[in-house]
Amino acid sequence: MTKIIINGTEVETREGIPVLQAALEMGLNVPHYCYHPGLSVVASCRLCLMEMKMPHPKTGEMGWAPKLMPSCQTPVRDGMEVRFDSEAVKRNQRNCMEFFLLNHPLDCPVCDQAGECLLQDYSYQFGDSTSRMVDPKYVNPKKDLGPKTLLYANRCVMCTRCVRFADEVAGTGELCVTNRGSKAEIDVFPGKALDNPLQGNVVDICPVGCLLDKDFLFKQRVWHLHSGDSICPGCATGCAVRVDQNENVIYRLKPRYNPGVNDWWMCDEGRFGWKYAQDATRLNRVITRRGEAVESLDWAGLPQTVRFRFAEVTAEHGDASIAIVLSPFMACEEAWLVATALRKIAPNAALVLGPVPLREQDEVFPKGATNGDAKFTISKERCPNRRGIERIIGALGGPTLTFAEFSENGGKGEIKGAWISGGYPEKWVDKELAKAADKIEFLVVHDLFASELCAPAEIVIPACPFTERAGSFMNIAGKLQPFEWAVKPADGCKRDGQFLQELAEITGIYQPESVRKLMAKQMPEFAEVAAPPKMPEHQH
Amino acid sequence: MSWKVIDRNAAPDKAEAPVLTDALVEKIRVFLPRYETKRAALLPALHVVQDHFGYVSWQAMQELAELLEINASDVFDVVTFYTYFWTHPRGEKVVTVCRSTACAFMGADSVLDECKKVLGIGEHETTADGKFSLQTEECLATCDHAPCLYVNERCHKHVKPEDVRRIIEDPNNAKLDIERSTLFDGVKGA
Average pLDDT for A21-31:
95
Whether B77 sits inside 8 A of A154 (CB atoms) is no
What one-letter code names the amino acid at B144? D
Query: Quick check: A171 and A369 in contact, CB under 8 A?
Result: yes
CB contact under 8 A, A180 and B1: no
Lowest mean pLDDT of A119-128, A296-305, A448-457, B81-90, name the range: B81-90
At residue B189, does pLDDT exceed 50?
no
SS (H, E, C) A123-167: HHHHCCCCCCCCCCCCCCCEEECCCCEEECHHHCCCCCHHHHHHH
pLDDT at residue A10, as a whole number: 95
Residue A358 DSSP SS3 = strand
Contact residues, B window 94-153, toward A, CB-based 8 Å cutoff: none
Of A143, A144, A173, nearest to B73 by CB-CB distance is A173
Question: Does the beta carbon of B71 lie under 8 angstroms from any beta carbon of chain A?
Answer: yes
Residues A99-110 pLDDT 10s: 999 999 999 999
Distance between CA A176 and CA B91 in Å, rounded? 28
Q: What integer pLDDT is reported at residue B17 of this predicted model?
A: 85
Q: What is the pLDDT of residues A338-360, one digit of tens each?
A: 999 999 999 999 999 999 999 99
Indicate which of B8, B58, B61, B66 best probes the interface with A, i.e. most A CBs within 10 Å of its own CB.
Answer: B8
| Total CB pairs under 8 A between chain A and B | 82
Distance CA A102, CA A154 (A): 10
Cβ distance A180 to B81 less than 8 Å, yes or no, reads: yes
Query: What pLDDT score does B183 carry?
Result: 52
Does residue A380 register a pLDDT over 70?
A: yes
**B53 CA to chain A: closest CA distance, Å?**
20
What mean pLDDT comes out for the span A375-380?
94
Band the pLDDT of B16: cuts 50, 70, 90: confident
Options 3.30.1330.10, 3.40.50.740, 3.40.50.11720, 2.60.40.2310; CATH for A287-480+489-526 is 3.40.50.740
Backbone angles phi, psi at A176, to 5 degrees: -150, 170
Q: Is B13 on the interface with A (CB under 8 A)?
A: no
**pLDDT at A115 (0 to 100):** 94
Three-state DSSP at A521 gives helix
- Per-residue pLDDT at B182: 56
Mean pLDDT of A140-166: 93
Which of A192, A194, A195, A217 would best serve as a mutation to test chain B binding (most B beta carbons within 10 A)?
A192
The answer for residues whose C-beta is within 8 angstroms of residue A326's C-beta and 6 or more apart is A335, A338, A339, A351, A352, A353, A354, A389, A392, A393, A421
Measured CA to CA, the distance from residue A282 to residue A449 in angstroms comes to 5
Shortest CB distance from A139 goes to which of B1, B8, B76?
B1
Q: How far, in Å, CA of A373 to CA of A169, rounded?
A: 10
Within 8 A of A135 by CB-CB distance, chain B residues are none
Overall average pLDDT of the A313-319 stretch = 93
B22-81 classified as CATH 3.30.450: no
Q: Quote ipTM for the complex.
A: 0.87
pLDDT at site B84: 85
Is the Cα torsion angle B175, B178, B184, B188 positive or negative in sign?
positive
3-state helix, strand, coil in chain B (%, to 5): 40, 10, 50
Alpha-carbon torsion, ordered A427, A428, A430, A433, to 10 deg: -130
Q: Which of B69, B73, B99 to mutate to test the interface with A (most CBs of A within 10 A)?
A: B73
pLDDT band (50, 70, 90) for residue A292? confident
Distance CA A196, CA A265 (A): 13
- How many Å from the N-terminal Cα to the C-terminal Cα in chain B? 52
- Which residues does A contribute to its contact with B (CB < 8 Å)? 105, 107, 139, 141-147, 150, 154, 172-180, 187-194
Query: Considering CB atoms only, which of B10, B71, B80 is closest to A190?
Result: B10
CB contact under 8 A, B6 and A143: yes
Q: Which of B5, B9, B77 sits opposite A193 (nearest CB)?
A: B9
Residues of B in contact with A143 (CB under 8 A): 5-8
Q: What angle do CA A170, A171, A176 make, to 5 degrees?
A: 95
* Residue boundaries of the structural domains of chain B: 22-81, 93-169
Interface contact flag, B77 A190, Cβ < 8 Å: no
pLDDT at A303 over 90: yes
The pLDDT-based confidence of A150 (bands split at 50, 70, 90) is: very high
Q: What is the DSSP letter of A321?
A: G
All residues of chain B having their beta carbon less than 8 Å from the beta carbon of residue A189 are: 8, 61-62, 71-73, 75-76
Domain ranges of chain A: 2-93, 101-224, 287-480+489-526
Mean pLDDT of the residues in chain B: 88
Residue A323: its pLDDT value, please?
95
Nearest to B80 among A173, A179, A191 (CB): A179
B1 pLDDT more than 50 = no
Span A2-93 CATH architecture: Roll (3.10)
Query: Predicted confidence band at B69 (pLDDT cuts at 50, 70, 90)?
Result: very high
CB pair distance less than 8 Å for B11 and A190: yes
Res A232 pLDDT > 90: yes
Residues in chain A: 540
- Nearest Cα residue in chain B from A190: B8
Q: Class for domain B93-169, per CATH? A: alpha beta
Other Cβ atoms within 10 Å of A142 Cβ, number: 17
Order of strands across the sheet that contains A249-255 = A226-231, A240-246, A249-255
Record: fold of A101-224: Alpha-Beta Plaits (3.30.70)
CA distance A473 to A272: 20
A165-220: pLDDT as tens digits: 999 999 999 999 999 888 899 999 999 999 999 999 999 999 999 999 999 999 99
% chain B with pLDDT above 90: 58
Average pLDDT, chain A: 94
Tell me A75's DSSP state. Answer: B
- Section A400-417 average pLDDT: 93
Find the residue in A nearest to B10 (Cα). A191
Alpha carbon A320 to its chain centroid, in Å, reads 40
Q: A146, B8: Cβ pair inside 8 Å? A: yes
Confidence label for B190 from pLDDT (cuts 50, 70 and 90): very low
